[in-house]
Amino acid sequence: MSDDSQDELDLPAGGEESESPEKSGNAKAPLASNYQSWFLDYASYVILDRAVPALNDGLKPVQRRIMYSLNELDDGRYNKVANVVGHAMRYHPHGDASIYSAMVGMGQRNLLIDTQGNWGNTLTGDGAAAARYIEARLSPFAREVVFNPKTTNWQLSYDGRNKEPINLPVKFPLLLAEGCEGIAVGLACKILPHNFNEIIDAAIAYLNKEEFELYPDFETGGVADFTNYNDGLRGGRILVRAVFEKLSKYQIAIREIPFGCTTGSLIDSIISANSKGKIKIKKIEDNTSDKAEILITLPPGSDADATIDALYVFTDCQVSIAPNSCIIENDTPYFLPVSEILQRSTDNVKGLLKRELEIKLAELEEKWHFDSLERIFIEERIYRRIEECETWEAVISEIHKGLDPFKSQLKREVTDDDVARLTEIRIKRISKYNSFKANEEIKKTEKGIRETKRHLRSLVKFTIAYFEALKEKYGKGRERRTRIESFETIKAAEVALPTEKLYVNREDGFIGFSLKKDEFLCECSQLDDVIAFSSDGTFRVSRVADKVFMGKDIVHVAVWKKGDEETIYDMVYRDGPRGSSFVKRFVVNAVTRDKVYDLTKGSKGSRVHYFRANADGSTRPIKVRLTPTCSARIKEFDFDLGELTVKGRASKGNLLTKYAIKSVRAHFNTEL
């Protein structure tokens, strides 16, 4: 609870700074307004002090305190992590567990912290050893980029006993390099890590007023499609895939895994998909050490390419990641695109470099001033003027008088503090004073002043040179690991392997995997659709399952693909109990699943005489035999279905005969 919240509790009811329960509408719940205030205080605290990183230095508060503690303990040697955690607890009120967890995450990213010992494995998901067993120190990059007490703003720690930085003066877009993920109250943050060298290239391009593009890069490698990255904002989505290698006809290997996965979680997803019948594998082995290697052995007869496509669809071999770029600036959360974070971070680096140059210039000018003052004081033997002085005021006055003829050579006025410093010069230094060396030192300082002023005049150029030096010094070995490609959408139904056996009970009208005592139909996948035509001239399409009703007295059933225009159906049906018979050829390319469609004219009692599905679109003549008692002169005739135009399923068809039909058969088919 914040101090402000506590003050609100102490206010008397009806006071000037709070409304009475009656006025606030909470007469029956007088503490409601206080609870609301407490919740808002807590939400604000979690957002600002725990879950979301600051834009200026790219760090969450716990990460900032870890870095500051490492800097305070830094003597070039490794420190036990337990010692660092204990030191950081002076500034962080949440205990050792959260500090240890955050420090392990930072160490595994291998940028700010130089680690020693078992820090876990991001590929396998193995955790780090206990804090008392592992060690850490600042990396050379962190020492150069993160700290400068002269440009750091300070605040008191939570208990008021120590001071800590408000933000560290980080001279690099650290937030984009490290990435960040956090969940606060009503707000989440997910900034993906980007490539070190590409961040520097983008910063230089921005300083040169050139266009740039910046996409994430993951330590685990993989292949990513950033088409819908949306510059890291909400609503964006990227796809990341594992990298496969075909070792043999029936063995494939996963060499790189998607971001956010471990080999363990990836294997679990593959085993789960196999047990559900979505893919077929024979054996899986994890040989991961410093590099990922998962060996997958396929059963005989498998297609490696088809299996890889199925792995992308049904397992974590392809993951979808939704970025949500949120930062804290001036104690307020903002949603900023990655490109703007890069721009603002680069501007911040330029501002920090400017402050450092200004501080350096002031220090050089102060050094020049005192060195010049010291030269005059010694070379002109002004120190002898104070031999007869009896008071401090007389000493100061006499030195000022001695310096008066030479003050025009100086760049600022001589103060009493300057004079006091002159009196602190030891006799030994005066006796060994070398005018030549002193002049050389002053010239060296003047050169530094001119150089610093030149850098300030060309600040953009100086900042670009700074970034180039960082890339040259620390960019080696940090090349892009995640390849950028554009993926084609793989539909699950197209890559689902036929791992199930489908059965049919034509009389009762059921299909399913569980009807093992009935007629075997075919092998199919769990995502397939089945189309079934009944003897009453109706049909429906349903998703396969253990048991599905498709309509009684099935005359044709098969696996059906949406948009199928190659399969042409031939059908002869009787309209009603005693009506004429019609013939039609049609396709079924779009339907609503589980809806019953009528292929006849709709008369009750209609019945199918003949039905055939032609997968290749070809057809054959049929032989029509009429009933012996009908009045037709010709009781048997042939009809060429190929003469009919193929129409949609709603077509009623052409009149075949008005007489009663006994049977219809094809030359290669049996009577129905």
Q: What is the pLDDT of residue 6?
A: 36
The yes/no answer on whether domain 355-474 falls in CATH 2.40.10 is: no
Max intra-chain CA distance, the chain? 156
Percentage of the chain exceeding pLDDT 70: 91
Alpha helices (H) in 228-330, listed in sequence order: 263-275, 304-314
Calpha distance 593→540 (Å, rounded): 7
Residues 20-57: pLDDT tens digits? 444 445 556 666 666 567 666 666 767 766 778 999 99
Reported as a pLDDT band with limits 50, 70 and 90, residue 579 is very high
All residues at 6 or more sequence positions from 609 whose CB lies less than 8 Å from its CB, including other chains: 572, 573, 574, 581, 661, 663, 664, 672
What does the DSSP 8-state code read for residue 161?
Answer: S
Full strand arrangement of the beta sheet holding 79-80: 79-80, 135-138, 113-116
Of 260 and 33, the structure prediction assigns the larger pLDDT to 260
* Closest C-alpha among 292, 324, 425 to residue 371: 425
* 416-423 helix and 338-379 helix, angle to the nearest 10 degrees: 60
Q: Each residue of 404-420: pLDDT tens digit?
A: 999 889 988 999 999 99
State the amino acid at position 307 in one-letter form.
T
Q: Which of 34-38, 158-162, 261-265, 514-518 comes out lowest in average pLDDT?
A: 34-38
Check if 68 is active-site. no
Is there a contact between 139 and 116 (Cβ–Cβ < 8 Å)?
A: no
Q: How confident is the model at residue 551 (pLDDT cuts 50, 70, 90)?
A: very high
CATH 3.20.20.20 fits 6-181, yes or no: no
What's the pLDDT score for residue 563? 78
Q: Identify the pLDDT of residue 332.
A: 87
Instruction: Estimate the crossing angle of helix 338-379 against helix 196-207, to 10 degrees.
Output: 80
**pLDDT exceeds cutoff 70 at 160:** yes
Mean pLDDT of 307-313: 91
Task: List the catalytic residue out of 133, 158, 466, 659.
Answer: 133
Q: What integer pLDDT is reported at residue 671 of this predicted model?
A: 40
Q: What residue spans in the chain does CATH classification 3.30.1360.40 cover?
A: 238-321
pLDDT the model gives residue 663: 92
Work out the mean pLDDT of the chain and round it to a whole number. Answer: 89
What pLDDT is recorded for position 493?
66
In this prediction the pTM is 0.78
Tell me where in the chain the CATH 2.120.10.90 domain(s) lie.
Answer: 493-666
Q: Which residues contact 344 (CB under 8 A, 6 or more apart)?
A: 55, 336
The C-alpha atoms of residue 9 and residue 30 are separated, in whole angstroms, by 11
pLDDT digits (tens, 9 = 90+) for 428-481: 888 888 889 999 999 999 999 999 999 999 999 999 999 999 999 999 999 999
Average pLDDT over residues 349-363: 96
Does the domain formed by 493-666 have CATH 3.40.50.10420? Answer: no
Tokens of 171: 């001279």
Helices (H) and strands (E) in the chain, counts: 18, 33
Residues of the chain with CATH 3.90.199.10: 6-181
Helix (H, G, I), strand (E, B) or coil at 148: coil
Q: Which residue has the tokens 């008191």?
A: 156
Query: E strands along 38-176, which residues?
Result: 79-80, 113-116, 135-138, 153-156, 163-167
Cα separation, 503 vs 515, whole angstroms: 6
Give the residue, 17 or 147, on which the prediction is more confident.
147
Nearest Cα to 268, choosing from 304, 237, 294, 232?
A: 294
Q: Calculate mean pLDDT across residues 560-582.
A: 90
**CATH domain 238-321 topology:** Gyrase A; domain 2 (3.30.1360)
The pLDDT assigned to 392 comes to 92
Most confident of 74-88, 265-279, 378-392: 74-88
**338-379 and 435-457 are packed helices; what angle lies between their axes, rounded to 10 degrees?**
160
> Residues of CATH 1.10.268 domain(s) within the chain?
355-474
Pick from 4, 5, 30: which is nearest to 19 by CA?
30
